[in-house]
Structure 1
Amino acid sequence: MAKPSPGQFAQQVRQEANKVTWPTRKETAITTVMVFIMVAVMAVFFLLTDQVVSFAVRTILGLGG
């Protein structure tokens, strides 16, 4: 495969970038909020899981007081 010249490469990059369907501002905002919500949910999940496993290990090892 022949290597394109820098000018041809830049033209090909522009052509490909024009084919991209960019999200709207509203879609981006909704997706961002959804990501923050999922991060919060997963943080709570892992906090609870860690507490349960920690309690179980302390109980099994007799360090539970």
Structure 2
Amino acid sequence: MATINPVQFMQQVRAEVAKVAWPSRREVMLTTVMVFIMAALTATFFSLVDYVIRLGLTMIVTGF
């Protein structure tokens, strides 16, 4: 592997970071809210599925 000068490395890192398209504060807040909403919906869905499975197994075990 080729060795690289630490100064050159830092220059390349700065050049690459300058190319990054950073999101605005509004975009970050919007995606954060969307993640929380999706997490809540997913938790609700799996809670309902768990309840239905538990209810079904209870009915099977107790013989209806």
Structure 1 segment 1-65 matched on structure 2, within 5 A: 1-62=1-62
TM-score, normalised via structure 2 length: 0.89
- CA distance in structure 2 between the aligned counterparts of 1:53 and 1:31, rounded to whole angstroms: 33
TM-score, normalised via structure 1 length: 0.88
Structure 2 unpaired stretches of 5+ = none
For these two proteins, the number of residue pairs brought into alignment is 64
Deviation at 1:62, TM superposition (A): 1.7
- CA distance in structure 2 between the aligned counterparts of 1:37 and 1:3, rounded to whole angstroms: 47
- CA distance in structure 1 between the aligned counterparts of 2:57 and 2:8, rounded to whole angstroms: 63
Structure 1 runs of 4+ off > 6 angstroms?
none
Percent of pairs identical after alignment?
Answer: 50
Structure 1 unpaired stretches of 5+ = none
CA RMSD of aligned residues (A): 1.5
Amino acid at match of 2:20: V
